[in-house]
Amino acid sequence: MEKATFGAGCFWGVEAEFRKVEGVISTAVGYSGGSLTNPTYQQICTDATGHAEVVEVVYDPGKVSYEELLDIFWDAHDPTQVNRQGPDIGRQYRSVIFYHSHQQQQKAQASKERLERASVYRRPIATEIEPAQTFYRAEEYHQQYLEKRGMPSCATGSH
């Protein structure tokens, strides 16, 4: 099993997308990339901790490749928006790939460059690619939020 960590705005809808993928063993939503130990949702919402809302994906690379996970990540949000997704504004909603190995770093960078060369988006891709940092699991009510409520997707893109 391997681990991948992605930030693509509100983590509820992004987690739901990864949960549909054959070969994804588990997902968890949480916070990464900030300065505070064990942050709470209320703390990261102040935009003062530096954390991003992220989804940690544990997957079987024999069934789904990291490149396939990257494709889902790109499709799950607008990577050209800086520190926001739709109505959600703040550094906690930034587009970021936290890589867990040199190989993941290379694949993430190559994927981003390929999209930029292909002019898939009208604006430059703002996605950050950074080494994985400590993942802090979000409060239980955030885990599988949409699934628990019988919602196929985020109705407003905001919470």
- All structural domains of the chain: 2-148 (3.30.1060.10)
> What does the alpha-carbon distance between residue 141 and residue 130 come to, in Å, rounded to a whole number?
27
pLDDT per position as a tens digit, 65-119: 999 999 999 999 999 999 999 889 999 999 999 999 999 999 999 999 999 999 9
Residue 25: both structure tokens together: 């063993």
Integer angstrom CA distances of residue 35 from 13, 38, 86? 25, 10, 25
Per-residue confidence at 153, pLDDT binned at 50, 70, 90?
A: low
CB 59 within 8 A of CB 2: yes
> What does the alpha-carbon distance between residue 29 and residue 143 come to, in Å, rounded to a whole number?
6
Per-residue confidence at 158, pLDDT binned at 50, 70, 90?
A: very low
pLDDT of res. 142: 84
Query: Which one of the listed residues 4, 10, 52, 54 is annotated catalytic?
Result: 10
Q: Rounded mean pLDDT of 48-71?
A: 97
Q: Rounded mean pLDDT of 147-158?
A: 63
pTM of the model: 0.92
Q: Is 154 a catalytic residue?
A: no
Per-residue confidence at 156, pLDDT binned at 50, 70, 90?
A: very low
Residue 39 has pLDDT above 50, yes or no: yes
pLDDT of res. 108: 98
Contacts 24+ apart (CB under 8 A), 133-136: 133/32, 133/33, 133/34, 133/98, 134/32, 134/37, 135/5, 135/28, 135/30, 135/31, 135/32, 135/54, 135/56, 136/30, 136/31, 136/32, 136/37, 136/38, 136/39, 136/51
